[in-house]
Amino acid sequence: MTVTTAKTKQPTLRVIPLGGLHEIGKNTCVFEYGDDLMLVDAGLAFPSDGMHGVNVVLPDTSFLRENQKRIRGMIVTHGHEDHIGGIAHHLKHFNIPVIYGPRLALSMLTGKMDEAGVSDRTTLQTVGPRDVVKVGQHFSVEFIRNTHSMADSFSLAITTPVGTIIFTGDFKFDHTPVDGEHFDLARLAHHGDKGVLCLFSDSTNAEVPGFCPPERSVFPNLDRHIAEAEGRVIVTTFASSIHRVSMILELALKNGRKVGLLGRSMLNVIAKARELGYMRAPDELFVPIKQINHVSDRETLLLMTGSQGEPLAALSRISRGEHPQVKVKSSDTIIFSASPIPGNTISVVNTIDRLMMQGAKVVYGKGEGIHVSGHGFQEDQKLMLALTRPKFFVPVHGEHRMLVRHARTGHSMGVPETNTLIINNGDVVELTADSISKSDPVKAGIELLDQSRNGIVDARVLKERQQLAEDGIVTILAAISTDGAMVAPPRVNLRGVVTTADARKMSLWTEREIKWVLENRWKQLTRSTGGKAPDVDWMGVQREVEVGLGRRMRRELQVEPLILCLVQPAPAGTPVYKGRADSEPDDRPAPRGRGGRHGAPQGGNRHGGGRNRDGGRNREATPARVIGSAPTGASSAKPVPASTPSPSPAPTKVQQPAAAQSPAAVDQEMPAGRTRRRRSAAA
């Protein structure tokens, strides 16, 4: 089957990025032609600050799940987490017949797949430089060696029925690569000569002028700091920055220091890279961390994770004095050989501060020459454009402004604006031999995984966590009989709630709330079964109490804690707890009654307000103002068949009938305005 567009009747290649655009992370791209789907990379991203307890952010893969029968295979460019970190998770949802990729990346992937128990869901196939693999009927992919901060990294030349696509993957032009593996410029130029239909190129450093310095350039600076150190040297960097780690090991050897490794990923990656020959270091160089204290400080180098201030990583724990084996010494020299990913800056500087406060010398920041990027700058990007000379150009792997800047670089190199597309995740790029266009997007949101990496954290859970973190939680335990009476004083617990309300006031409010619900909502929340005990919608009762108390706290205390009400049902006839709600004065009365909750002006209500609740009761007893007949916007409780209640037999004393005329009472009859008013009241 061949896809054709109605207008041109030409075969069309569709390229659909599901992640990696308008962001750094979770790079995931789908190529589609006819009936074939091919996946290129599937990475993860790290959570932003408000995503409490979220470990990993993945793209929404609904599109792939729906089309899983058409997935013919996958290509991996290199082993960074933002390119392979999602694969093991996705394999739980759909199979991938075969994954082609570099040896180092696939060996790292093997561990992740074993851990996730999905090793039988695909076949891993290692490739080398200039290898060509066929995926489905329509794609053949050539692996072109490139240079990047990760060893064994590739750019791709993807041959399709409409033309050749160059997909750069992550790259910089490093002419003195640490591992001696040079960028295969000749091969890029070869494709450029033959004709490249479209270039998809790494935009990470599109805003930075000049050429990216070679990785090797950090060597003398690191060497100087290590040589000058009087005590221990502690170095932190990304475990996956294989070349950097190689140089640090080389420098330890050169400076007569033994190496202790801390952090799971640091141990894993070094073990893999040494096993596969990407890193050369003698066994004697390493000392198990438990024995590192037997080595003198002057001969110790500790290499660890934590360059991003991640709270659980080795260096962060050391900075807080929480590491069992390693404590900071004032003679330590601590080197941050990485720059913070935007979003991590605050945790990084906090870690640096904590280390400095303990007297250590900390070497960090741009001026020290101890870190270079793995992604090319503007001149690298120009060289890529010059070698490949594409007809069409799509900047990828970057935030929006980087994509825009990269597009501009493309124009300066002669790619017309009309031949360039700036796209978002989920957009569909349609390519024919002589056109590029964007068509209707596919679904491309995010999925958030927690510690377990299995549980998906949905929007509701995230909202609750944000509430917990920002305003704490209130728990209420209420005892209510099946005939609708409060039979014991409610127990109210506050955790992490900053409020001016004392415990007495909180329990008073809670009692009032429960009473109000029992008196005004009970009918809607129960269904007579004809027998003795009515059928009570306890969830509904709980929800009503939560919503009501939540509104009061928001209005009067300006806090919005998570409120959790649990009801302990008691048999009908249990002696009623009278409560204090009516006997004690409310020192700061608020508009009461359901209407009042929705933000009736406080001023006009100030003194009568405390009684408006009673006004509400009064209305309950007056058919003309029945609450049950109005849509209960706030309540999703199960409606009871008779929606117009008969005059309530509620035995409540009416303390101030006049309050029924208050603004709150009027508001009661305007359900349409409720939600809107609630919002403004909360403001």
To which H or E segment does residue 407 belong? helix 400-412
Closer CB to Zn ion, residue 80 or residue 523? 80
Taking alpha carbons only, the member of 261, 271, 303, 306 closest to residue 108 is: 271
Closer CB to Zn ion, residue 80 or residue 272? 80
Question: What's the closest the beta carbon of residue 167 comes to Zn ion, in angstroms?
Answer: 12
Part in contact with Zn ion (CB under 5 A); list of ranges 75-83, 279-287, 433-441, 504-512: 75-83
Question: What's the closest the beta carbon of residue 157 comes to Zn ion, in angstroms?
Answer: 19
Nearest-5° Cα angle at 201, 200 to 206: 140
Closer CB to Zn ion, residue 143 or residue 509? 143
Closer CB to Zn ion, residue 80 or residue 521? 80
Question: What's the closest the beta carbon of residue 309 comes to Zn ion, in angstroms?
Answer: 20
Question: What's the closest the beta carbon of residue 200 comes to Zn ion, in angstroms?
Answer: 13
Part in contact with Zn ion (CB under 5 A); list of ranges 90-98, 163-171, 317-325, 415-423: 163-171
Whole-angstrom Cα distance, residue 116 to residue 128?
27
Closer CB to Zn ion, residue 152 or residue 450? 152
Give the torsion sign (CA, 452, 455, 458, 462).
negative
Closer CB to Zn ion, residue 60 or residue 170? 170
Give the torsion sign (CA, 279, 281, 287, 293).
negative
Q: Where are the beta strands (DSSP E) in 103-179?
A: 124-127, 132-135, 139-146, 153-160, 163-167
Chain centroid offset of residue 191 CA: 38
Whole-angstrom Cα distance, residue 225 to residue 238?
19
Closer CB to Zn ion, residue 170 or residue 544? 170
Closer CB to Zn ion, residue 154 or residue 219? 154
Taking alpha carbons only, the member of 83, 70, 81 closest to residue 17 is: 83
**How many Cα atoms are found within 13 Å in the side-chain-facing hemisphere of 615?**
24
Give the torsion sign (CA, 279, 285, 288, 293).
negative
β-bridge mates for residue 4, sequence order: 11
Part in contact with Zn ion (CB under 5 A); list of ranges 162-170, 407-415, 526-534, 580-588: 162-170
Closer CB to Zn ion, residue 170 or residue 427? 170
Q: Where are the beta strands (DSSP E) in 86-129?
A: 99-102, 124-127
Closer CB to Zn ion, residue 80 or residue 515? 80
Question: What's the closest the beta carbon of residue 171 comes to Zn ion, in angstroms?
Answer: 9
Question: What's the closest the beta carbon of residue 188 comes to Zn ion, in angstroms?
Answer: 18
Closer CB to Zn ion, residue 72 or residue 80? 80
Contact 125, 107 (CB under 8 A): no
Question: What's the closest the beta carbon of residue 345 comes to Zn ion, in angstroms?
Answer: 19
Question: What's the closest the beta carbon of residue 215 comes to Zn ion, in angstroms?
Answer: 13
Question: Within positions 15 to 34, which residues make up the interface with Zn ion, using CB under 5 A?
Answer: none
Terminal-residue alpha carbon distance, the chain: 57
Question: What's the closest the beta carbon of residue 27 comes to Zn ion, in angstroms?
Answer: 6
Contact 549, 513 (CB under 8 A): yes
Angle between helices 538-557 and 674-682 (to 10 degrees): 40
Question: What's the closest the beta carbon of residue 41 comes to Zn ion, in angstroms?
Answer: 8
Closer CB to Zn ion, residue 160 or residue 204? 204
Give the torsion sign (CA, 589, 590, 591, 596).
negative
Give the interface size with Zn ion as a residue count (CB under 5 A).
Answer: 3
Part in contact with Zn ion (CB under 5 A); list of ranges 164-172, 353-361, 465-473, 545-553: 164-172
**How many Cα atoms are found within 13 Å in the side-chain-facing hemisphere of 51?**
19
Part in contact with Zn ion (CB under 5 A); list of ranges 77-85, 515-523, 527-535, 630-638: 77-85
Part in contact with Zn ion (CB under 5 A); list of ranges 82-90, 97-105, 279-287, 644-652: 82-90
Verify binding: residue 513, Zn ion, rule CB under 5 A: no
Part in contact with Zn ion (CB under 5 A); list of ranges 81-89, 133-141, 159-167, 503-511: 81-89
Closer CB to Zn ion, residue 350 or residue 373? 373
Question: What's the closest the beta carbon of residue 184 comes to Zn ion, in angstroms?
Answer: 17
Part in contact with Zn ion (CB under 5 A); list of ranges 11-19, 66-74, 79-87, 106-114: 79-87
Closer CB to Zn ion, residue 80 or residue 232? 80
Closer CB to Zn ion, residue 36 or residue 202? 202
Part in contact with Zn ion (CB under 5 A); list of ranges 2-10, 74-82, 184-192, 346-354: 74-82
Verify binding: residue 215, Zn ion, rule CB under 5 A: no
Question: What's the closest the beta carbon of residue 153 comes to Zn ion, in angstroms?
Answer: 7
Angle between helices 503-520 and 609-620 (to 10 degrees): 20
Part in contact with Zn ion (CB under 5 A); list of ranges 80-88, 190-198, 512-520, 548-556: 80-88
Parallel/antiparallel/unpaired status of strands 71-75 and 36-42: parallel
Closer CB to Zn ion, residue 45 or residue 270? 45
Residue 246 CB burial class (10 angstroms; 0-12, 13-18, ≥19): buried
Question: Within positions 44 to 63, which residues make up the interface with Zn ion, using CB under 5 A?
Answer: none
Chain centroid offset of residue 587 CA: 44
- Work out which of 23, 32, 82, 471 binds Zn ion, going by CB under 5 A: 82
Part in contact with Zn ion (CB under 5 A); list of ranges 73-81, 183-191, 299-307, 363-371: 73-81
Question: What's the closest the beta carbon of residue 491 comes to Zn ion, in angstroms?
Answer: 52
Contact 273, 279 (CB under 8 A): yes
Question: What's the closest the beta carbon of residue 328 comes to Zn ion, in angstroms?
Answer: 31
Nearest-5° Cα angle at 461, 457 to 463: 120
Question: Within positions 579 to 618, which residues make up the interface with Zn ion, using CB under 5 A?
Answer: none
Parallel/antiparallel/unpaired status of strands 535-536 and 526-527: antiparallel
Question: What's the closest the beta carbon of residue 236 comes to Zn ion, in angstroms?
Answer: 19
Question: Within positions 168 to 187, which residues make up the interface with Zn ion, using CB under 5 A?
Answer: 170
- Give me the phi and psi of 139, to 5 degrees please: -115, 135
Question: What's the closest the beta carbon of residue 148 comes to Zn ion, in angstroms?
Answer: 6
Verify binding: residue 80, Zn ion, rule CB under 5 A: yes
Own/partner pairs, 155-160, CB within 8 angstroms, 24+ separation? 155/77, 155/188, 156/40, 156/75, 156/77, 157/187, 157/191, 158/31, 160/13, 160/31, 160/33, 160/197
Residue 679 three-state SS: helix
The residue ranges that bind Zn ion (CB under 5 A) are 80, 82, 170
